[in-house]
Amino acid sequence: MRTGVSAWLSTVDHKKIAVLYMLTALFFFVVGGLEAMAMRAQLSAPNLKFLSPETYDQIFTMHGTTMIFLVVMPVLVGFGVYLVPLMIGAGDMAFPRLNALGYWLTLGGGFLLYVSFLAGGAPDAGWFSYAPLSEKAYSPHSGMDYWALGLLLLSAGSVIAAVNFVVTIATLRTPGMTIRRLPLFVWITLVNSVLILAALPALNAALVMLLSDRLLQAHFFDPTHGGSPILWQHYFWIFGHPEVYILVLPAFGMISEIIPVFARKPIFGYGFVAASTLAIAFLSFGVWVHHMFAVALGRVFISVFAAASMLIAVPTGVKIFNWAATLVGGSIRFTTAMLFAVAFLLEFTFGGLSGLAFAVVPIDWQLTDTYFVVAHLHYVAFGGIAFALFAGAYYWFPKITGRLLNESLGRWNFWMVVIGFNLTFFVQHILGLMGMPRRVYTYPDLPWWGVLNLISTFGAVILGLGALVFVANLFASLAFGARAGNDPWDAWTLEWAAASPPPPDNFERVPPVRSRRPLWDLKHPESPDWATRGGG
């Protein structure tokens, strides 16, 4: 029996692998956050020279790439890998060794991306690396090659995780756990995994083509030999748009678990949340052109995609409605997890609305590539995804570690993050409307630009400190936190029947499953779900 570090390095236990994913994501979150701090420092006043333009380009490229591929993807896979087997009453994932491989590929990809700093410079063409800037002629140093290779490894890790999720959910459910009784987090993970399998290959194809161009002098995106830079944009966004849903759907899953427990009510409209997830997955492939409205593709062409883009807001709206309706009439308990979950509803809705504005082509033409986009994406990615992740952390930390995160520190964490986040990014809407472009290392001293940027930087400092409070809470609670029992929140899904933390094969005995809330049925034998409303 291995112990200590070597146990962790050779583990195939889904719980340990999940923690590895989460810790890796946490590390890169701090790195990406520092990159953001550097950017905000450089932008805090006009005409600063804290970072050179070349350095700034590398920093913003790495910030975006890191946050998306080394923080959000891994942490979501981590939560999935930890929770899915527990929630379906299984002992592990279907392919434990593949699970481990997925993690190590992810770490490898992160390593490749960051070693670029030492190998002549990090990638610097933005997280979506448009051609021909990304081609050898305009980016001769090897940073772009590291970017492409790193992403290929990361993408392999994601595909592996997705395969594992589908097979696990399809074949390892405990008897009685039918598809219609799945916790929404699991259902959403299933749909999301198929989405990953369909979308990531588009990125892989594009990366292979880019590497061919750069390393073998091929001409896919090289206009001087008949290639097409627009093709890169199409291929990248055919991946890129589904990718944003890949990032947000598991967050939706977490919120769907957390809100009902702290509102003491089953989720309103389970079927609608489930069906709208399918709708989002399918529709996400039909809207990518809205990232390219400014590329002169033809009015008829972009009009159809503009209409589709407006339509895709509907299923997400359905979900928001269902979560809000769950709150109505519930007896709400504002733990830190619930605070973040409710804040998620507000912030993500706001971010969704700013995104909807972009579906209107003339608005997009005015605001594309300005700070309005930066504001929008951070409202959905941070106000949405990151807030859901904070909620998930506070909710499931007790299960993973056996200790509760400190609620007082949690309150500080919450308020600093909320205030800091909104200060940082709300003003960026205004900056965008005023015309400040994104990806600029500095800006001229135009009226209000300096002040608003300074406010944004000030907000970023508060946000950063709030994030540090979170990290401190994690480690302090790990060492000194109050012990949590199996079920500190009086929740209803199977993971709360296991010990905190669970033993290697998770359950001594899996509770019987006859409805969507097996633990409710166990705790309330006089009014179980399966006898009252059919339970699914």
Partner 1 sequence: MTTQELLLTAWDWEPSVVAGCAALAIGYLALALVGRTPWSAADAPVGHAPAQDKKPARGPVADRGVRPTILFLSGTLLLLLALVSPLDTLADGYLFSAHVVQHILLALIIPPLWLLGTPRALAEAALQRPLIRQIERALAQPLIAWPLGVATMILWHLPPLFNAALASDSLHIFQHLSFLITGTIFWWPVLGPIPERRIAPLHYAIAYLFSACVCCSLLGALLTFTPPGAYPAYLNPDDRLGILRLVRTGWGLDPKTDQQLGGLLMWVPGCFVYLSGILATTARWYGTAEQEA
Partner 2 sequence: MRQRARLGMAMFLLSEAVFFFMLIAAFVYFRAASLAAAAANLNLGVTAVYTACLMASSFTMWRASATGLRAWLGGTILLGAVFLFGQGSEYLRLFHQKITISQSLFGTTFFTLTGLHGLHVLVGIALLAILFGRRALAVDVVALYWYFVDIVWLAIFAIVYLWTFR
265 binds, among partner 2, partner 1, none (CB under 5 to 8 A by kind): none
CB closer to partner 2, 216 vs 300: 216
Angle at 130 between CA 347 and CA 242, to 5 degrees: 45
5 binds, among partner 1, partner 2, none (CB under 5 to 8 A by kind): none
End-to-end CA distance of the chain: 43
Task: From residue 408, give the alpha-carbon distance in Å to each of 82, 292, 390, 461.
Answer: 26, 46, 15, 21
* Interacting residues toward partner 2 by CB under 8 A: 94-95, 98, 159, 162-164, 166-167, 170-171, 194, 196-202, 204-206, 208-209, 212, 216-220, 225-228, 231, 235, 238
198 binds, among partner 2, partner 1, none (CB under 5 to 8 A by kind): partner 2
Query: Please, what is the minimum distance in Å from the beta carbon of residue 275 to partner 1?
Result: 5
Query: Please, what is the minimum distance in Å from the beta carbon of residue 293 to partner 1?
Result: 15
Query: Please, what is the minimum distance in Å from the beta carbon of residue 172 to partner 2?
Result: 8
169-192 in b/e form (b: 16+ CB < 10 A) is beebbbeebeeebbbbbbbbbbbb
195 binds, among partner 1, partner 2, none (CB under 5 to 8 A by kind): none
Tell me which DSSP letter residue 481 carries: P
Candidates 173, 169, 201; CA nearest to 81 is: 169
CB closer to partner 2, 1 vs 216: 216
Task: From residue 76, give the alpha-carbon distance in Å to each of 18, 188, 399, 506, 514.
Answer: 9, 12, 16, 20, 28
218 binds, among partner 1, partner 2, none (CB under 5 to 8 A by kind): partner 2
Distance from C-alpha of 95 to C-alpha of 223, rounded to nearest angstrom: 44
Burial of 272 (0-12, 13-18, 19+ CB in 10 A): middle
Helix pair angle (96-115, 53-65), 10° resolution: 170
Candidates 368, 370, 405; CA nearest to 293 is: 368
CB closer to partner 2, 133 vs 218: 218
125 binds, among partner 1, partner 2, none (CB under 5 to 8 A by kind): none
Query: Please, what is the minimum distance in Å from the beta carbon of residue 241 to partner 2?
Result: 15
Query: Please, what is the minimum distance in Å from the beta carbon of residue 81 to partner 1?
Result: 23
CB closer to partner 1, 114 vs 270: 270
167 binds, among partner 2, partner 1, none (CB under 5 to 8 A by kind): partner 2
Q: Which residues pair with 370 in a beta bridge?
A: 437
DSSP string for residues in 265-285: SPPTTHHHHHHHHHHHHHHGG
176 binds, among partner 1, partner 2, none (CB under 5 to 8 A by kind): partner 1
308 binds, among partner 2, partner 1, none (CB under 5 to 8 A by kind): partner 1
CB closer to partner 1, 76 vs 198: 198
Residue 140, helix vs strand vs coil:
coil
CB closer to partner 1, 286 vs 317: 286
Tell me which DSSP letter residue 72 carries: I
197 binds, among partner 2, partner 1, none (CB under 5 to 8 A by kind): partner 2
CB closer to partner 2, 235 vs 394: 235
Tell me which DSSP letter residue 483 carries: B
Query: Please, what is the minimum distance in Å from the beta carbon of residue 513 to partner 1?
Result: 10
Distance from C-alpha of 406 to C-alpha of 400, rounded to nearest angstrom: 15
Task: From residue 430, give the alpha-carbon distance in Å to each of 223, 394, 449, 451, 471.
Answer: 37, 33, 9, 12, 31
Tell me which DSSP letter residue 304 carries: H
Distance from C-alpha of 368 to C-alpha of 291, rounded to nearest angstrom: 9
CB closer to partner 2, 62 vs 162: 162
* Interacting residues toward partner 1 by CB under 8 A: 176, 178-181, 270-272, 274-275, 278-279, 282-283, 286, 298, 300-301, 304-305, 307-308, 311, 514, 530, 534, 536
Q: Which residues pair with 403 in a beta bridge?
A: 483
CB distance 2 to 84 below 8 Å: no
Query: Please, what is the minimum distance in Å from the beta carbon of residue 283 to partner 1?
Result: 7
478 binds, among partner 1, partner 2, none (CB under 5 to 8 A by kind): none
CB closer to partner 2, 196 vs 261: 196
Task: From residue 439, give the alpha-carbon distance in Å to each of 43, 54, 358.
Answer: 11, 11, 19
Query: Please, what is the minimum distance in Å from the beta carbon of residue 304 to partner 2?
Result: 19
Query: Please, what is the minimum distance in Å from the beta carbon of residue 530 to partner 1?
Result: 8
CB closer to partner 2, 204 vs 442: 204
Query: Please, what is the minimum distance in Å from the beta carbon of residue 270 to partner 2?
Result: 26
Residue 403, helix vs strand vs coil:
strand
CB closer to partner 2, 97 vs 533: 97
66-98 in b/e form (b: 16+ CB < 10 A) is bbbbbbbbbbbbbbbbbbbbbbbbbbbbbbbee
Query: Please, what is the minimum distance in Å from the beta carbon of residue 231 to partner 2?
Result: 6
91 binds, among partner 1, partner 2, none (CB under 5 to 8 A by kind): none
Task: From residue 513, give the alpha-carbon distance in Å to each of 497, 519, 520.
Answer: 12, 9, 10
Query: Please, what is the minimum distance in Å from the beta carbon of residue 348 to partner 2?
Result: 28
CB closer to partner 2, 122 vs 209: 209
Query: Please, what is the minimum distance in Å from the beta carbon of residue 197 to partner 1?
Result: 13
301 binds, among partner 2, partner 1, none (CB under 5 to 8 A by kind): partner 1
CB closer to partner 1, 179 vs 328: 179
